[in-house]
Every structure is written in structure tokens, then in C-alpha cells.
Amino acid sequence: MSFTIDPTAKLKIVSLELPSEVTVTAQFNPKEVGIDRSVPWQKHKKKAGEKGGGSADLEFTGGEPKSMTLELMFDGFEQNASVQSSINDLYKLTEPIQATGDKARPTKVKVIWGAESPDNLPKFESVIESVSVKYTMFSPDGKVLRATANLKLKEAGNLSVGKAT
């Protein structure tokens, strides 16, 4: 089987809901993307009189959604162009939108890298759990010329809003 790789394909984070029609396109594709999935197990309680051998009895307690971590780099140094607007777009994806009634939550997003194919990174529908930005280069007048953003996303199907704690 042969396939062609599109060297121009860029990773994108796309809002899936209005009014946050925002797409963040990676200027440089990440060198790595981490996808983790926790499979929670609990130690099973022994009943009175049961003998406990050397091995633990475990009980599966339900699946957890996958999480994705990635780092994006933004660089406007050679063009003397600020990258702050791209950082602002990332933050827009974490701002609350009206969900139902008077309840709000951040928008659902999709991470896409290239065409849908079994050979490509699978599309990842999620919500952003965290964004951490490190500003690494400035112009003499304070314009942001380079930054890296570390993102953590959690896989999401249907979303709801719980009570504030």
C-alpha cells in the first residue's frame, strides 16, 4: 500500500460550537503528541473469613476519557510580527460560552492533523483542560515575538454543566 504525506498539513484546534468560531493553526507542528488513558481499578474488599493470598483482588470501576498533551511553538521573530493574537485565540477556546439557561462552559474543540486516515493522528474531540504559555522572545518595544503553549485536552462526547462548588 502506498500513500502520500502532505508536508504542508498543519495541526489545527477548531472550535465546534458557536459563538467561539476560532481555529488555531500550528505555525510549527508539534514534535510529539501524548495521548493517555487511565483505566481505574480498585482493590476489592475481602469478606470476613476470606483468606488473602499474595495477589490483590481488583475491581474495574469504569473507563476514563483519554487526555492529550501537546506543545505548540509560535515564532514571529524573522518577520518582526507579534504572535500574541494566536495565543489570544487559544485562550478564547477556554472562555465560557452559554450552554443552557444561565449555565456556561468552555467550548468543545476538535484537534485535527491532516486528512482523516488510519495512518494519521485520529481526530480528537475534546475540551481544553489547561493552557500554559511561556513567552520566550520580545522586540525592544515589548512585542511578543516567540512563545510556546503547552495544552492539555480531555476527550469529550456530550457535555453538561454541573453545579458550581
pLDDT in tens, 6-20: 567 899 999 998 666
What pLDDT is stored for residue 164 in this prediction? 54
Which tops the pLDDT comparison, 151 or 46?
Answer: 151
Q: How far apart are CA 150 and CA 155, in angstroms?
A: 17
Those residues whose C-beta lies under 8 Å from the C-beta of residue 29, and which sit 6 or more positions away, are 9, 10, 11, 113
Considering just the CA atoms, what is the radius of gyration of the chain in Å?
Answer: 21
Question: How open is the CA angle 103-107-110, to the nearest 5 degrees?
Answer: 155
Q: Is the per-residue pLDDT at 147 higher than 90?
A: yes
What is the C-alpha end-to-end distance of the chain, expressed in Å?
A: 54
SS3 86: helix
Spell out a b/e string for 83-97, using b for 16 or more CB atoms within 10 Å of the CB, else e.
bbebbebbebbbeeb
Q: Is the per-residue pLDDT at 85 higher than 90?
A: yes
Q: Is the per-residue pLDDT at 148 higher than 80?
A: yes
pTM for the whole structure? 0.77
What pLDDT is stored for residue 3 in this prediction? 42
Residue 65, amino acid? P
Beta carbons of 28 and 73 less than 8 angstroms apart: yes
Question: Which segments within the chain are labelled E, that is strand?
Answer: 11-15, 23-25, 33-36, 41-43, 58-60, 67-75, 96-100, 103-106, 109-113, 124-138, 144-155
Question: Residues, the chain, total?
Answer: 165
